Structure 1
Amino acid sequence: MTDTTAAGTDWQGWQRSWDRQQEWYMPDREERFRVMLDMVEATVGRTPRVLDLACGTGSITARLLDRLPGAVSTGVDLDPALLAIAEGTFAGDDRVTFVTADLKDPHWPTALPYASFDAVLTATALHWLHEGPLAALYGQVAGLVRDGGVFMNADHMIDDTTPRINAAERALRHERMEQARNDGAVDWAAWWQLAAADPVLAIPTARRFAIYGGHADGDMPPVSWHARTLREAGFGEARPVWCSPSDTLLLALK
């Protein structure tokens, strides 16, 4: 566990600032979360046991509990700074547990408090894995989702058969992002500079960069790869349930 006992730290403020930073990249982020939780409710009901995979600050968990207050959530991540914010945000909420674990460690599921979950959810996190480790992770996730349960991954899934469409979308998106930056939006790098300057987050932020280095980019295979790999891992059905020009929410049903 990360020490989040510093008196007076505005954990909710840090949570909101992380959300704003992420929205600079994904203006339709909240719509994506809404559809994710629609599908949780549709497939496994209103009181699910959820694994928030690569949970970061707990963005999914926050929206899950607002939408479905009878749910319970276990967040797992390795990032000490983001986990500090998550633990501070949800301190005292007995519906929420956080676990520090490396998803590239084959034994990470043994650190979880439950052997199975109704839903495993992740967003904007797994694109830092290359295809081999991601396929291995999908196999582990399949072992954690109960029969009839669901896995959802919301992330960048690039279709490399449409390069002109991709280039046009990317150019417009980056133009709008640059305008937002000029209007004062904080990007990923600037957000981490703020965290490094904070008296409480400085040490976990330094530890975070010692673990990860800079922003690591893995592979971004197309939706077809994700769906096929999840079916091969043991899911019965897998397909997108939402997409934007640059992002996809893919659902796999056990």
Structure 2
Amino acid sequence: MADAVTGATGRSTEAADGHDWQAWQDSWDRQQEWYMPDREERFRVMLDMAEALVGPTPRVLDLACGTGSITDRLLRRFPDSTSTGVDLDPALLTIARGHFAGDSRVTFVTADLKDPHWRAALPYDTYDAVLTATALHWLHSEDLAVLYGQLAPLVRPGGVFMNADHMPDPATPRINAAERAHRHAGMDRARGAGALDWADWWAVAAADPALAEPTKRRFEIYGEHADGDTPPADWHAATLRAAGFAEARTVWRSPSDALVLGLK
């Protein structure tokens, strides 16, 4: 199982606690890229737009941060930025805390975004940017609209919120079906070459002594997968404007996903 989490750099990435958290970070990235080959492109556009609107030293809230994928790219590109990662998943937060251990620019908070008081756990009242990717589809639209209303006061005037997620266009079902079939054919080929899917990855995590208990608790919280929905990008933009953002629109999209930006 150790081969499944080999570090991408080829050098030793063992942390002070004796665990190779960099390897787990790399493994998570590869698993997510199996589903989203253009994942790095959406991160690039997200950080481009953050720089364009709030500059190269932002205070960022990494919302539903998982292992800290956004924070990792943020700090590499903007080393003078700071990040607060918030999530409920104990296994992914274990990886994130291990990976960023000792970095004073990063703080992690355990909180449930469905809890109306989740913002009380944050270390700051406002942020220059709130960023999230491939996470909020775990929420139903009604809950997501409530969350957008909670996020608006957290974003300072002139600040931004960005959500990159699955946002298919319901008006084009044949196009959607063809794209999905083509994408899944490529995924099948990659799986045949040894790529880990969601279930495989979690099985490897459950076998790691440092992640076994957090993974068990994670499945007690979420089950196999949440049953949220995936409204189109126009819904996200309209809901953000209704929540108090002055402007909102799509700034990147693929055939199945989009990055929607709200400007306060």
- Give the alignment partner of residue 172 of structure 1, picking from 182, 186, 193: 182
Residue identity over aligned pairs, in percent, reads 76
Partner of 1:64: 74
d(CA) in 2 for partners of 1:231 and 1:245? 24
- What does the per-residue CA deviation read over 1:85-121, in whole Å, with 9 as the maximum and x for residues that have no partner? 0000000000000000000000000000000000000
Structure 2: which amino acid aligns with 1:72? T
List runs of 5+ in structure 1 lacking aligned partners: none
- Give the alignment partner of residue 214 of structure 2, picking from 181, 192, 204: 204
d(CA) in 2 for partners of 1:208 and 1:77? 11
Structure 1: which amino acid aligns with 2:25? Q
- Give the alignment partner of residue 102 of structure 1, picking from 94, 112, 121: 112
d(CA) in 2 for partners of 1:88 and 1:240? 34
- Give the alignment partner of residue 186 of structure 1, picking from 185, 192, 196: 196
Structure 2 CA distance for partners of 1:119 and 1:61, relative to 1, 3 Å: same
Q: Note the C-alpha offset of 1:216.
A: 1.3
Partner of 2:20: 10
- Match status 1:244 vs 2:254: yes
TM-score by length of 2: 0.93
Structure 2: which amino acid aligns with 1:207? R
d(CA) in 2 for partners of 1:66 and 1:75? 16
TM-score by length of 1: 0.97
d(CA) in 2 for partners of 1:159 and 1:136? 22
Q: Note the C-alpha offset of 1:12.
A: 0.2
Structure 1: which amino acid aligns with 2:192? N
Contact 1:50 1:72 in 2 (8 A): yes
User: Higher mean Cα deviation, 217-226 or 100-109?
Assistant: 217-226
Structure 2: which amino acid aligns with 1:249? L
Partner of 1:151: 161
- Match status 1:34 vs 2:44: yes
d(CA) in 2 for partners of 1:93 and 1:7? 15
The 3-state SS of whatever aligns with 2:159 is: strand
- Match status 1:74 vs 2:121: no
Structure 2: which amino acid aligns with 1:108? W
The 3-state SS of whatever aligns with 1:70 is: coil
Q: Note the C-alpha offset of 1:6.
A: 8.1
Partner of 1:54: 64
Contact 1:47 1:72 in 2 (8 A): yes
d(CA) in 2 for partners of 1:217 and 1:147? 33
Q: Note the C-alpha offset of 1:158.
A: 1.7
RMSD: 0.9
Contact 1:152 1:250 in 2 (8 A): yes
The 3-state SS of whatever aligns with 1:150 is: strand
Contact 1:6 1:200 in 2 (8 A): no
Q: Note the C-alpha offset of 1:7.
A: 2.8
d(CA) in 1 for partners of 2:223 and 2:18? 29
Q: Note the C-alpha offset of 1:229.
A: 0.3
d(CA) in 2 for partners of 1:66 and 1:10? 19
User: Higher mean Cα deviation, 74-83 or 241-250?
Assistant: 241-250
- What does the per-residue CA deviation read over 1:134-180, in whole Å, with 9 as the maximum and x for residues that have no partner? 00000011010001000000000121111000000000001110110
The 3-state SS of whatever aligns with 1:119 is: strand
d(CA) in 2 for partners of 1:234 and 1:63? 28
d(CA) in 2 for partners of 1:217 and 1:240? 24
**Number of equivalenced pairs:** 250
d(CA) in 2 for partners of 1:87 and 1:96? 9
Contact 2:169 2:256 in 1 (8 A): no
Partner of 1:233: 243
Q: Note the C-alpha offset of 1:132.
A: 0.6
- Give the alignment partner of residue 121 of structure 1, picking from 110, 128, 131: 131
- What does the per-residue CA deviation read over 1:33-73, in whole Å, with 9 as the maximum and x for residues that have no partner? 00100001000001100000000000000000000001000
- Match status 1:19 vs 2:29: yes
